[in-house]
Structure 1
Amino acid sequence: MDLSQTVFELIDMRSFSNLWYWIALAVAWSSASHWVLGVPWDTVLRARRVGGQSEQDLTDLVRINSNRILHIADVSGVWLILLSFFVHTLLIGLGFFYAVEFAQAVFLILGPMTLVGAMSVRTARIIQAESCVGDDLRRRLGRHRFWVQLIGMLSIFVTSLWGMYQNFSISPLG
């Protein structure tokens, strides 16, 4: 027996029973929750607490990132939507019709993250249209973060249920 065969027997390389998949899922959602429109959440808290230059820094960061997000959406939004539909259709087909566990795992991360991306474009448009600053800006970012966290919790819950189902259905006891 060679080393690679021993490693593959010792560590299950399927997605839902692999510790690295769950670490990646947790990192993805904690990052999405921490970086609201590309602005770290601690910057929002510091602007609320301190004000002054921190408030101006927050306004500038949100303006820069909102303009960047909206530029990308305006210039290549249609192509990104088409590519997104293609990738999602491919992952759904491979994962749930052909039972490719890796495609299921990727879709269960990428699907909800796509929704968060669309919400970010919408929030950036609202911030730009309403010229949000100060309390309004922090409230808008807080509302966006709340919905990202809610989607993240639901996504982790659904992913864990699906992962447990997959692990039980292929186990020797199932």
Structure 2
Amino acid sequence: MDWYDTVFELIDLRSFSNLWFWIVLAVLWSSTSHWVMGVPYDMVARARRNGGQAAQDLEDLVRINTNRLLFIAEESGLWVVAIGSAFLSGVAILGFYPGYWIEFAQAVFLLAFPMTLVGLLSVRSARLIREGEGEGEALWRRLRIHRMLTQLIGMVSIFVTALWGMYMNLTVLPF
């Protein structure tokens, strides 16, 4: 086997038959559900359990991340939505339009689209935190709801991606 075959086998663009794609999918959703609003979820549990300085640290970190996220949304939100929509539309067309049917674009879409939903959920949660759910039990509840919804999006995403990946592996012949 020559060098080019080795490299292209490692960087296989047939994503759904590649172990690296599934590792990326698992790491993406694991880290997304662990880092809630930019805060590790174990910090939320520690703040609930211990209170005091742990709760104050959590509130400060959530306040900082909330203000940062809302600043980005207010200042450049229109551009982020426009560029993100153009990117997702382009990848969806390249991946799912019958004339193109590029498997790598399908894989990118199946990773990126649910993450945009998580991003929108984060902006919504940040707004609710700023409007009065930024302390104590209300903050812990908001972060718990945000994490559960993120995990729900992740479960549906992984399920749909696994079904689509199995379909592609069973029906599409390799190039």
- TM-score for the superposition, normalised by structure 2: 0.93
2:128 to 126, 129, 140: 126
Q: 1:127 aligns to what SS in structure 2?
A: helix
Question: Which blocks of at least 5 consecutive residues in structure 1 are unaligned?
Answer: none
Output the CA distance in 2 between the equivalents of 1:48 and 1:107.
Answer: 37
Output the CA distance in 2 between the equivalents of 1:61 and 1:2.
Answer: 51
Find the counterpart in structure 2 of residue 41 from structure 1: 41
1:29 has 2:29 as partner = yes
Distance 1:6 1:28, change over 3 A: closer
Distance 1:93 1:55, change over 3 A: same
Deviates further, 8-17 or 124-133: 8-17
Report how far residue 11 of structure 1 moved. Answer: 8.2
Q: 1:31 aligns to what SS in structure 2?
A: helix
Query: In the TM superposition, what are the counterparts of 1:6-21 in structure 2 within 5 Å?
Result: 8=8, 13-21=13-21
Find the counterpart in structure 2 of residue 144 from structure 1: 146
Identity %: 61
Distance 1:131 1:100, change over 3 A: same
- Which string of whole-angstrom CA distances, capped at 9 and with x for unpartnered residues, describes residues 75-113 of structure 1? 000000000110010011000011000000000000000
- TM-score for the superposition, normalised by structure 1: 0.94
- Aligned pair count reads 172
Output the CA distance in 1 between the equivalents of 2:127 and 2:31.
Answer: 22
Q: What CA RMSD, in Å, does the superposition of the two structures yield over aligned residues?
A: 1.6
Find the counterpart in structure 1 of residue 93 from structure 2: 93
Report how far residue 2 of structure 1 moved. Answer: 1.8
Output the CA distance in 1 between the equivalents of 2:11 and 2:127.
Answer: 46
